Amino acid sequence: MQEKQQHLQRETKEWRKIQHRELNKLRSAQHHLLFNVGAYLAISVIEFYLAEVGHSQTLRADALNNLAGIISAVLLLVGIFIARDIDDDDLMGQPLPEDIQKNGQRLQLTRFHYETVFTLITGIVMIAISLNVIYGGFKSLMHPELQEVPQPITLLGAGVAMVIMIIVWWMNRLAGLKLQNAALTAASQDSLSDALTSLGTLVAIGGALLFKVTWLDGVASIIVGIFILVAGIKIFKESSLNLADYFDPKAEMQFRTAIENNPQVKKVEDINAHYSGNMVTMDVIIAVDAHMEVKDSYRLGEEIEAQMRRQFGIVDTDVMVVPA
């Protein structure tokens, strides 16, 4: 009994350290995403205004693309806010128990899923906006009498947007790699796509002005829409796979090999790793000597859990022991 109590105390202490570290990462991610919202808002206002004044459909499409960036960043902020809320007694349920035995750890890991859910919604929003932009481009090409060469001032909007988006992408990329944060990774992919589309917008408007080609503006807006569509599908795919409990089989094979290297483990019968936001948890069934005592199998489970945390950063490993 005393040994079990000491183990629970160690587990609780270890979990609090992991929880504190992950919450600090989410707090840093929030600050970066707030910067994203400000940058996207400024770009969208500038581009919408110059698109109306300069009669550029491509610049309008780019403005819509950056509007999607605002929506994406806000959705990700909401997801992170819910994931970070450990004292919630009025929005999503009851406060998280301090004691691991009362499922405080499980509840927190479940809340970390909200970040992935809102990342998924971000992908859907990007896909919807891209389809609207592509439709507008084709509609423009079908009515050539409505087409006109953009005004030179639209080049300014595209140029400013491109420079700002390159800065935003670089900051998101560095922060995403440092914090290992899915929301910032999604924001980084989004902002890189936005920087490329702004560059394409700049080239398209410049080409239309230089060669006086009216249809180039519509074609460029379709290309911008396709860029948004590809980025949205990629984000949607990755986040939906995470929510569906898909895990890289190669990584699971590494976990299996590491466990089977333990001389007391006869075989790993089953292994399932899961994402909880950016954190990885795992369920594993191992076969051991049928005559192994209960206390020895218990200690083996603790040994494997510590190894997975130390070697692969898996925050929680549930080990089930069966006789070989």
Q: How far apart are CA 242 and CA 225, in angstroms?
A: 26
Give the residue from 38, 66, 76 showing the smallest Cα distance to 191. Answer: 66
Q: CB within 8 A of 265, min separation 6: which ones?
A: 259, 286, 287, 288, 300, 304
**Statement: residue 166 has pLDDT above 60:** yes
**Whole-structure pTM value:** 0.66
Give the residue from 209, 205, 125, 115 showing the smallest Cα distance to 159. Answer: 205
> Cα 37 to the chain's mean position, in Å?
16
Q: Is there a single domain that holds both residue 200 and residue 177?
A: yes
Higher-pLDDT residue of 271 and 88 is 271
Q: Is there a single domain that holds both residue 231 and residue 135?
A: yes
Q: Is there a single domain that holds both residue 221 and residue 271?
A: no
Which of 62-66, 109-113, 281-285 is predicted least confidently? 109-113
Q: Is there a single domain that holds both residue 116 and residue 30?
A: yes
Which of 100-114, 144-158, 177-191, 231-245 is predicted least confidently? 100-114
**Statement: residue 101 has pLDDT above 50:** no
Compute the 3-state secondary structure of the chain and give helix, strand, coil in percent, each to the nearest 5.
Answer: 75, 10, 15
Q: Is there a single domain that holds both residue 222 and residue 314?
A: no
pLDDT given at position 2: 62
Q: Is there a single domain that holds both residue 74 and residue 104?
A: yes
Percent with pLDDT over 90 in the chain: 10
Higher-pLDDT residue of 132 and 115 is 132
**Statement: residue 22 has pLDDT above 80:** no
Instruction: Give residue 123's domain range.
Output: 1-243
Among candidate residues 185, 216, 243, the one where a domain is terminated: 243
Mean pLDDT, residues 210-214 taken together: 79
CATH of the domain at 165: 1.20.1510.10
pLDDT given at position 52: 86
Q: Is there a single domain that holds both residue 206 and residue 251?
A: no
In the chain, the number of structural domains is 2
Q: Is there a single domain that holds both residue 222 and residue 257?
A: no
Mean pLDDT, residues 133-147 taken together: 78
Q: Is there a single domain that holds both residue 117 and residue 228?
A: yes
**Statement: residue 102 has pLDDT above 50:** no
CB burial of 156-185 (b: ≥16 within 10 Å; e: otherwise) equals: bbbbbbbebbbebbebbbebbeebebbbbb
Express each pLDDT in 65-85 by its tens digit. 788 778 777 876 776 777 666
The angle, 0 to 180 degrees and rounded to 10, between the axes of the packed helices 182-211 and 2-54 is 10
Higher-pLDDT residue of 95 and 14 is 14
Average pLDDT, the chain: 79
CATH of the domain at 271: 3.30.70.1350
**Statement: residue 286 has pLDDT above 90:** yes
Q: Is there a single domain that holds both residue 186 and residue 314?
A: no
Torsion of CA 257, 261, 262, 267, to 10 degrees: 60
